[in-house]
Amino acid sequence: MADRISKAQRSANMRKIKGKDTAPELVVRRAVHGLGFRYRLHRRDLPGNPDLVFGPRRKVIFVHGCFWHQHSDCRAGRIPEANATYWKPKLQRTIERDRRNIAALEDAGWRVLVLWECEITTSTTAIEQILRHFLGEAGAK
């Protein structure tokens, strides 16, 4: 299947995609802060540069985009028909890198929570429940 937009427009669209401070990540950060927890962002000394790091608790949270990290339970996590020979290996490398990073963190004694973009956009209350359960009730509040 051919791409519906020009190569220049596609390139411009791809340049706009961010890796940090995405809308789903900001929702999670606001929820965590509202629950009274404090965290560090994108610690580069940890495998995978987790989005939120709770150092004393030895817990990290990754906020994954359904497309980029290939969420298997989500419609957005499917490989595009256009240029599939490019996308399939690229997205597969991301999946494998995620697995390696999570395994390395767990081997180092960290607990890992992965939140998917589609989960975050559905219910803030559900996300807060997941966060409370993962982080414990002992926030700063």
Q: How confident is the model at residue 111 (pLDDT cuts 50, 70, 90)?
A: very high
Task: Give 84's contacts (C-beta < 8 A, 6+ positions apart).
Answer: none
Highest averaged pLDDT of the listed ranges 28-32, 119-123, 136-140: 28-32
List the domains of the chain with CATH numbers.
Answer: 61-127 (3.40.960.10)
Cα-to-chain-centroid distance, residue 139 = 22
Task: Give 33's contacts (C-beta < 8 A, 6+ positions apart).
Answer: none
Question: What are 128-139's pLDDT values in tens digits?
Answer: 999 999 998 655
Which pLDDT score is estimated for 67?
A: 87
For residues 104 and 11, the model is more confident at: 104
Residue percentage of the chain with pLDDT more than 90: 56
Residue 20 to residue 44: CA distance in whole angstroms: 13
Residue 6 to residue 12: CA distance in whole angstroms: 10
Task: Give 73's contacts (C-beta < 8 A, 6+ positions apart).
Answer: 116
Which pLDDT score is estimated for 121?
A: 78
Mean pLDDT over each residue of the chain, to the nearest integer: 87
